DNA sequence: GTTGAGCGTT
């Protein structure tokens, strides 16, 4: 057997790696010793130049067909040019794009210029690929066809179909491993049609790691003439779009997946005009996060974490959204694992006010911004993102969820005079889409009782039940149901009606006594917990009030207690 | 030769 001498870097102590019978060296053999490596090179003694070793389909070929690998000492090549590398983490070993505190972004340009092998190696070893499971394969799919399919994404180091040992029949799933992190990211961000079946590619449970950052957004209020290309064309200006999915039959919403989760995050909460139609972008909860009760709690809201972690370590306790499933006293809404509890054991529910209840209810979408909104106030985090923001093509910084409260969004105090509509897109579903209007205008709603933001006299029976619009609006609250996917329009309408009439609105309308914190931001002077409609909005900006005290009012509990049952049936995960 | 949510005899 032929051995190839390989060192990590030129001049290092080489390791002898066994070559195959055909004289090639398997990339997997190389990577077993040098994780993250993607090739070999060597110093040509004649030219003094470094020469690369030919690589194809997971095999490295000796420089000479005659003399094989010769006496050269080869050294490793590590990938470069990984997208977002500089802004992704050297700190977190994740198969997904990791989350990096913004302070690291300062070195972006430096990193891009960085060219040393050591540097790239260091990064790559932390961003190394992992096996990916491919679910839903056609029975007929072979390892060859599997490999062939995925090679369009990059070098495939391994493609494996799990088979029945006796019959040899495929079990319908397999594993792939890519040579580059970029390829892995792209694969994870896409849906895959392999041999006629849509397959799902995920990080296997056995890996159990990763901070999955949502790259997919929900686009609500779509019209039927907005097709995939329209969506792709439009959203591509913000960043690379890797997938567009429009549920059929038409339901007035769609999903757009970006390569860069920051882009996706930055768009959430916004209205965009496509073909003259105002669509609304909000978070789409990745399927992978659904119903996962085991394992560590993932920090899901890249947006908020971006803003929070490094600068304000204490901010961990306000990692709203996905961090910490079912923690705190939010278990009343711990349905199906979707609306992960916010962990209101801490102060994050404070001044966010409405957001507090909403936080849980909203789950993912509200998570980042909500937590931030609350905690910005509480922790005085204003403006701390300045160092880490990258700008989107349209000039809007990615880290919007933090910036919202640092600069863009009217402060929560506005609840005092602006009514709940003033709290921004993320806080509430689009009630206009629901066809619901608050009775009072925002200008006359000073001190409106926020626990019934719909106003009085709501006629549930007269609500327009357009499932599509309701779905679009509810998306922000993570209320879309799995069941919707497989039901016909009538069933959807019926279910949505149940949601709306039975829980949603009643949730909205209840909470009589305890009061939402939100309503009481202006009450920080001591009236927290009350819903006194006379609470002047003037105090609204007094957001340094005792928000945590407001939490103690358990206003959130009261509303949420009633929402237990059916919310399990309203989870949008299966749309994704 | 049937099946369709899952997690890998390394």
Q: How confident is the model at residue A229 (pLDDT cuts 50, 70, 90)?
A: very high
pLDDT for the residue numbered A397: 53
d(CA A468, CA A248): 12
Residues 375-394 of A with CB under 7 A from strand B: none
A473 touches strand B (CB under 7 A): no
Q: What is the 3-state secondary structure (H, E, C) of A30-54?
A: HHHHCCCCCEEEEECCCCCCEEECC
- Residue A172 CA, nucleotide B5 C1', distance (Å): 10
A570 touches strand B (CB under 7 A): no
- Residue A410 CA, nucleotide B7 C1', distance (Å): 46
A294 touches strand B (CB under 7 A): no
A23 touches strand B (CB under 7 A): no
Written as one string, the DSSP assignment of A258-323 is: ESSHHHHHHHTT-EEEETTEEEEEEE---GGGTT--SSPPP---HHHHHHHTTT-GGGGGG--TTS
Strand order in the sheet with A59-60: A25-26, A59-60, A55-56
d(CA A144, CA A237): 36
- Residue A149 CA, nucleotide B6 C1', distance (Å): 22
Count CB neighbours of A124 within 10 A: 25
- Residue A180 CA, nucleotide B3 C1', distance (Å): 34
Judge contact between A6 and A30, C-beta under 8 A: yes
| Averaged pLDDT for residues A405-427 | 29
Written as one string, the DSSP assignment of A5-21 is: EEESSTTSPPEEEE--T
pLDDT for the residue numbered A351: 29
At a CB cut-off of 8 Å and minimum separation 6, what does A562 contact? A503, A506, A507, A510
pLDDT for the residue numbered A240: 87
Token pair of A134 as six digits: 């491919």
pLDDT at A533 over 60: no
- Residue A243 CA, nucleotide B7 C1', distance (Å): 25
pLDDT for the residue numbered A272: 94
A364: nearest Cα among A479, A266, A452, A471: A479
Scan for tokens 């880290």, then name that residue.
A399
A173 touches strand B (CB under 7 A): yes
- Residue A150 CA, nucleotide B2 C1', distance (Å): 29
pLDDT for the residue numbered A67: 85
Q: How confident is the model at residue A235 (pLDDT cuts 50, 70, 90)?
A: very high
DSSP bridge pairs for A281? A219
Scan for tokens 């006496």, then name that residue.
A71
pLDDT for the residue numbered A395: 57
pLDDT for the residue numbered A171: 94
Scanning every strand, the nucleotide with its C1' closest to A164's CA turns out to be: B9
- Residue A191 CA, nucleotide B5 C1', distance (Å): 18
- Residue A159 CA, nucleotide B10 C1', distance (Å): 13
d(CA A420, CA A38): 54
pLDDT at A537 over 80: no
Give the DSSP H or E segment for A117.
Answer: helix A117-126
pLDDT at A141 over 90: yes
A160 touches strand B (CB under 7 A): yes
Burial (CB count <10 Å: 0-12, 13-18, 19+), residue A47: exposed
pLDDT at A242 over 60: yes
- Residue A575 CA, nucleotide B3 C1', distance (Å): 24
| Averaged pLDDT for residues A176-181 | 92
A204 touches strand B (CB under 7 A): yes
A137 touches strand B (CB under 7 A): yes
Peptide bond into A249 cis (omega under 30): yes
- Residue A216 CA, nucleotide B6 C1', distance (Å): 23
Three-state secondary structure call for residue A171: strand
pLDDT for the residue numbered A45: 82
| Averaged pLDDT for residues A222-247 | 92
A138 touches strand B (CB under 7 A): yes
d(CA A35, CA A183): 16
- Residue A163 CA, nucleotide B10 C1', distance (Å): 14
A213 touches strand B (CB under 7 A): no
Give the start-to-end residue ranges of the domains of chain A.
Answer: 3-77
Q: How confident is the model at residue A36 (pLDDT cuts 50, 70, 90)?
A: low
Q: How confident is the model at residue A56 (pLDDT cuts 50, 70, 90)?
A: confident
Three-state secondary structure call for residue A202: strand
- Residue A280 CA, nucleotide B2 C1', distance (Å): 45
Scanning every strand, the nucleotide with its C1' closest to A133's CA turns out to be: B7
Among the residue ranges A2-16, A31-45, A94-108, the one predicted with the least confidence is A94-108
Q: How confident is the model at residue A228 (pLDDT cuts 50, 70, 90)?
A: very high
Higher per-residue pLDDT: A226 or A319: A226
- Residue A195 CA, nucleotide B3 C1', distance (Å): 17
Q: How confident is the model at residue A178 (pLDDT cuts 50, 70, 90)?
A: very high
Within its chain, how far is the Cα of A541 from the centroid? 31
pLDDT tens, position by position, A324-373: 222 222 222 222 223 333 233 332 332 222 223 223 322 233 333 332 33
- Residue A204 CA, nucleotide B7 C1', distance (Å): 6
| Averaged pLDDT for residues A394-414 | 39
d(CA A460, CA A463): 5
Token pair of A490 as six digits: 């009538």
pLDDT tens, position by position, A463-482: 333 434 344 434 433 334 33
Q: How confident is the model at residue A213 (pLDDT cuts 50, 70, 90)?
A: low
d(CA A102, CA A104): 5
pLDDT for the residue numbered A39: 83
Written as one string, the DSSP assignment of A52-113 is: EPPEETTEE--SBTTTBTTT-EEEEE-----TTTTTS-SS---SSPPP--HHHHTTHHHHHH
Residue nearest to nucleotide B10 (CA to C1'): A160
Written as one string, the DSSP assignment of A345-408 is: TSGGGTTTTHHHHHHHHHTHHHHHHHHHHHHHHHHT-TTGGGGT--B-TTS-BS-HHHHIIIII
d(CA A263, CA A269): 12
A460 touches strand B (CB under 7 A): no
A165 touches strand B (CB under 7 A): yes
pLDDT at A452 over 90: no
Residue nearest to nucleotide B6 (CA to C1'): A135
DSSP letter at A331 equals: G
Scanning every strand, the nucleotide with its C1' closest to A199's CA turns out to be: B4
Token pair of A567 as six digits: 């919310």
| Averaged pLDDT for residues A551-557 | 31
Scanning every strand, the nucleotide with its C1' closest to A131's CA turns out to be: B8
Q: Which nucleotides of B are covered by protein (CB under 7 A)?
A: 2-10
Higher per-residue pLDDT: A539 or A400: A400
- Residue A203 CA, nucleotide B8 C1', distance (Å): 12
Residue nearest to nucleotide B9 (CA to C1'): A165
pLDDT for the residue numbered A175: 95
Written as one string, the DSSP assignment of A477-521 is: TT---HHHHTS-HHHHHHHHHIIIIIIIHHHHH---SS--TGGGG
Three-state secondary structure call for residue A122: helix
Which own/partner pairs from A565-568 qualify as long-range (CB within 8 Å, at least 24 positions apart)? A566/A498, A566/A499, A566/A502, A566/A503, A567/A333, A567/A335, A567/A336, A567/A339, A567/A479, A567/A503, A568/A335, A568/A336
Scanning every strand, the nucleotide with its C1' closest to A130's CA turns out to be: B8
DSSP letter at A436 equals: -
**Angle in degrees, CA A22, A180, A96, rounded to 5:** 140
Relative orientation angle of helices A364-379 and A354-362, to the nearest 10 degrees: 150
Judge contact between A174 and A187, C-beta under 8 A: no
pLDDT tens, position by position, A256-301: 988 887 888 889 999 999 999 999 999 886 444 333 333 333 333 3
Three-state secondary structure call for residue A183: helix
| Average pLDDT of chain A, as a whole number | 56
A202 touches strand B (CB under 7 A): yes
- Residue A260 CA, nucleotide B5 C1', distance (Å): 30
Residue A121 half-sphere exposure toward CB, CA atoms < 13 A = 16
pLDDT for the residue numbered A176: 95
A133 touches strand B (CB under 7 A): yes
Most confident region among A120-129, A154-163, A310-319, A505-514 by mean pLDDT: A154-163
Most confident region among A42-46, A340-344, A385-389, A419-423 by mean pLDDT: A42-46
Judge contact between A374 and A407, C-beta under 8 A: no
């Amino acid at each position: 057997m032929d051995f190839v001498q390989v060192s990590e870097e030129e001049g290092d102590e080489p390791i002898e790696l066994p070559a195959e019978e055909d004289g090639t060296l398997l990339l997997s053999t190389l990577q077993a010793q040098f994780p993250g490596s993607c090739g070999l090179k060597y110093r040509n003694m004649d030219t003094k130049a470094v020469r690369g070793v030919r690589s194809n389909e997971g095999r490295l070929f000796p420089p000479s067909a005659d003399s094989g690998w010769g006496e050269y000492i080869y050294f490793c090549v590590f990938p470069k040019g990984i997208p977002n590398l500089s802004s992704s983490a050297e700190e977190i070993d994740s198969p997904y794009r990791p989350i990096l505190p913004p302070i690291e972004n300062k070195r972006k340009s430096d990193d891009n210029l960085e060219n040393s092998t050591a540097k790239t190696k260091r990064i790559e070893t932390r961003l190394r690929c992992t096996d990916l499971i491919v679910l839903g394969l056609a029975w007929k799919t072979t390892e060859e066809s599997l490999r062939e399919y995925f090679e369009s994404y990059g070098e495939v180091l391994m493609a494996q179909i799990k088979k029945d040992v006796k019959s040899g029949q495929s079990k319908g799933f397999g594993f792939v491993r890519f040579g580059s992190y970029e390829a892995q990211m792209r694969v994870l961000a896409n849906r895959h049609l392999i041999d006629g079946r849509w397959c799902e590619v995920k990080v296997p449970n056995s890996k159990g790691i990763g901070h999955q950052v949502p790259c997919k957004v929900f686009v609500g209020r779509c019209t039927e003439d907005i097709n995939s290309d329209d969506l792709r064309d439009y959203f591509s200006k913000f960043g690379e779009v890797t997938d567009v999915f429009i549920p059929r039959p038409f339901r007035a919403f769609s999903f757009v997946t970006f390569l860069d989760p920051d882009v996706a995050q930055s768009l959430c909460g916004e209205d965009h005009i496509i073909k003259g139609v105002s669509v609304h972008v909000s978070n789409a909860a990745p399927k992978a996060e659904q119903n996962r009760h085991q394992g560590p709690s993932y920090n899901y809201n890249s947006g908020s974490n971006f803003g929070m972690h490094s600068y304000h370590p204490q901010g961990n306790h306000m990692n709203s959204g996905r961090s910490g499933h079912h923690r705190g006293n939010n278990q009343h809404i711990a349905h199906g694992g979707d609306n992960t509890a916010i962990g209101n054991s801490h102060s994050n529910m404070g001044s966010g006010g409405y957001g507090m209840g909403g936080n849980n209810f909203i789950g993912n979408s509200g998570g980042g911004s909500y937590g931030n909104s609350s905690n910005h106030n509480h922790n005085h985090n204003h403006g701390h993102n300045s160092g880490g923001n990258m700008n989107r093509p349209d000039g809007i910084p990615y880290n919007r969820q933090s910036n919202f409260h640092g600069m863009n969004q009217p402060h929560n105090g506005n609840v005092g005079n602006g009514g709940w509509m003033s709290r921004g897109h993320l806080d509430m579903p689009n009630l206009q889409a629901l066809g619901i209007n608050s009775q009072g205008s925002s200008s006359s709603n000073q001190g409106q009782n926020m626990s019934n933001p719909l106003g009085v006299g709501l006629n549930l029976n007269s609500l327009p039940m357009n499932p599509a619009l309701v779905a679009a609006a509810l998306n922000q609250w993570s209320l879309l149901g799995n069941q919707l996917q497989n039901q016909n329009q009538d069933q959807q309408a019926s279910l949505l009606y149940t949601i709306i009439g039975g829980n949603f609105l009643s949730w909205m309308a209840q909470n009589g006594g305890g009061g939402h914190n939100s309503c009481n931001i202006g009450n920080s002077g001591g009236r927290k917990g009350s819903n006194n409609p006379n609470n002047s909005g003037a105090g609204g900006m007094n957001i340094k009030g005792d928000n945590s005290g407001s939490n103690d009012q358990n206003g959130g509990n009261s509303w949420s207690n009633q929402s237990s049952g059916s919310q399990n049936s309203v989870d949008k995960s299966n749309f994704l």
